[in-house]
Homo-oligomer: A and B are copies of this chain.
Amino acid sequence: MTPLGNTELKSTGQRAVILEIIRRGGGHLDADEIHQRARKQLPRLSLSTVYRVLQKFKENGLIEERHLDENHHHYEISRRDEHHHLICSGCGKVIEFSLPVADIITARIPAANGFEIKNCEINLSGLCPECRQKA
Contact = CB atoms under 8 A, between A and B. Distances in A.
Interface in A85-135: 86, 88-89, 95-97, 99, 101-102, 104-105, 108-109, 111-129, 132
A67 interface: yes
Given A97-B112, A105-B99, A108-B99, A126 B119 contact: yes
Copy number of this protein in the oligomer?
2
Contact of A132 (B86, B116, B123): B116
Given A101-B101, A101-B122, 13 more contacts: A65-B70, A67-B67, A86-B117, A97-B112, A105-B124, A115-B126, A116-B126, A116-B127, A118-B126, A119-B125, A119-B126, A121-B123, A123-B123
Interface of A: 65, 67, 70, 73, 86, 88-89, 95-97, 99, 101-102, 104-105, 108-109, 111-129, 132
